[in-house]
Structure 1
Amino acid sequence: MNFLLFYRIDSIVLFPDQEDQLICLGDKKGIYIVKVAYLNQSQGTVPVTPFPSSKVWSRAWPHRVGFFLWQAFLNRLPTLSNLHRRKSVLDTPNLRYLCGNAVETEDHLLVQCPLASRVWNYFINVVGSPIFTISSIKEVVVGWKSFPLSMQGLQLWKRLPAAIPWGLWKARNAIAFFGKISNLYDVIRDIKIDAFNWSKGLDCQEKRYVSSFQMLFMA
């Protein structure tokens, strides 16, 4: 070990007439970039699905929603399962807010639980597609496919992979923090509002957009 250390030190070439500079070895230009540092750190522990930066940090939805998707993709949302693992809550991870069928994890809460499945299938049926199985939030973010829709419908459809998980997360938090239970149609309505507003460059809660939402999916 000492021999290797001395070998590396001895291989360093000093230039007394030049000013010292900080150089990031992970970048070709020697410039430190957070994205490059993240990718270099991830090497050796390569995830099953590469992190889809361009799809998560999209301009199609607000930045806070991108941050939410980033947390969900990396299994860092403050679900009861994660909070229990971090010893941040005294409750057991078996407590669930949206359903009572499984431990509250990201994938179960946002994709697999009965309420989540019904929400996903509702929007998939709107475009006339056969119901397909989604098992994880990663599959949604990475593999969301387009359908032959109108131009406005396509703009709405591309926002659903973020709007649906975001709507389910808000419904979950409404129960957790305020004891407010939303039914299926309330959740779907709020998702429509978000998707429509984002497609118009807005980030508000105006109900007037809901009535025309489904018509825009018509090719």
Structure 2
Amino acid sequence: MEWRRERIGREKDEEEKLREGLERLQLKKRAEDRWRWTHDSEGRYGVKNAYDFLAPIECVLDKQWSKLIWCKLVPSKVSFFGWRLSLDRLPTKWNIRKQGVPLQEEELKCVLCKDKVEEVNHLFSMCKEAWIFWVEVLQWWGMVTVLPNNVLSVADIFVNDLGRIIGKEMGACIFLVATWYLWYWRNGEVFNNGKNIRGRLMEMVQAKSFFWIKNKIHGCVFSFHEWKIKPVECALSVRKYKQMQKLFHKQQKGRGTTQSLERYVAFLLIARQK
């Protein structure tokens, strides 16, 4: 095999596995090519056996992370980002070096604070610039607390501490939006010299979280201005709306479809007025 460049890190192991697989392969003449899922005895892909295959990976995740990552209020790309974050698979400078890229000590420094080595827990919790950003996010929600030195504990503040008030799903959403834009800020510093990102960062978090939540929950009747100045009240109105929705569906269970639909429309109108 000829490659355009030298393999680094895991690529060397993957190349070796590829060679071993090809050596065992026996081609059959006049046989039609077909796809085969190797993790099933009959070669057929199924969601269940795919989950069974991924189970050992998911086991290393804290249950708290699992509930947080697959938050229904954020797009799948953000959940995938959270999944990579939880497994420490983001291409931070430290992880890039572990993959075999020859970075010098000076090149490993965090692009935000220019001080410590850029690894996940530093970038998303201990970095002094990131710390200022987290303080702004928490103050937006009326919270003052001591920030921990690892990203999982930061998530715990949003999901459990703030989540007790506004709901864990909403707390997870705010955490994921904030980490998403913290990573966006970091990439802006690396690739675009940080063009005006920091000055707009908090407003971007507020705007994107408002947009995602408004599109996922039909009971949101608050404006962006209200979301910016009193987010707790807005989040509580969403939580109350969802509770009323569940109660209504429970009461309507077993009744006629037409009657249930009509009452549901009336319920929505009343809920919006309140």
Q: Which deviates more from structure 2 when the two are superposed, residues 176-185 or residues 97-106?
A: 176-185
Partner of 2:125: helix, strand, or coil?
A: helix
Cα RMSD after superposing both structures = 3.2
Counterparts in 2 of 1:121 and 1:36: CA distance versus 1, 3 Å? same
**In the alignment, what sits opposite 2:190?**
176
Point out where structure 1 has 5 or more consecutive residues left out of the alignment.
1-20, 24-29, 203-208
- The separation in 2 between residues aligned to 1:97 and 1:141, in whole angstroms, is 22
* Number of residue pairs aligned between Structure 1 and Structure 2: 182
**In the alignment, what sits opposite 1:12?**
none
- The separation in 2 between residues aligned to 1:53 and 1:125, in whole angstroms, is 26
Q: Which has the higher helix share?
A: 2
Q: State the shift of 1:147 in Å.
A: 5.1
After superposition, the C-alpha distances for 1:136-167 in whole angstroms (9 at most, x for unaligned) are: 22223455222545x9xx98654211011111
Counterparts in 2 of 1:169 and 1:38: CA distance versus 1, 3 Å? same
**In the alignment, what sits opposite 2:83?**
70
Q: State the shift of 1:75 in Å.
A: 0.6
* 1:22 maps to 2:41: yes
Q: Which deviates more from structure 2 when the two are superposed, residues 186-195 or residues 128-137?
A: 128-137
- The separation in 1 between residues aligned to 2:85 and 2:116, in whole angstroms, is 17
Counterparts in 2 of 1:133 and 1:169: CA distance versus 1, 3 Å? same
Letter in 2 for 1:171: W
Point out where structure 2 has 5 or more consecutive residues left out of the alignment.
1-39, 217-222, 234-274
Q: Give 1:124's match in structure 2, choosing from 138, 141, 144.
A: 138
**In the alignment, what sits opposite 1:7?**
none
Q: Residues 1-219 of structure 1 correspond to what in structure 2 (within 5 A)?
A: 22=41, 32-40=48-56, 46=60, 49-50=62-63, 52-88=65-101, 90-92=103-105, 94-142=108-156, 144-145=159-160, 146=163, 148=165, 157-182=171-196, 184-201=198-215, 211-219=225-233
TM-score normalised by L of structure 1: 0.68
CA contact (8 A) 1:56 1:141 kept: no
Letter in 1 for 2:177: A
- The separation in 1 between residues aligned to 2:53 and 2:180, in whole angstroms, is 28
- The separation in 2 between residues aligned to 1:162 and 1:102, in whole angstroms, is 24
- The separation in 2 between residues aligned to 1:69 and 1:181, in whole angstroms, is 25
Q: Which deviates more from structure 2 when the two are superposed, residues 69-78 or residues 93-102?
A: 93-102
Q: State the shift of 1:168 in Å.
A: 0.7
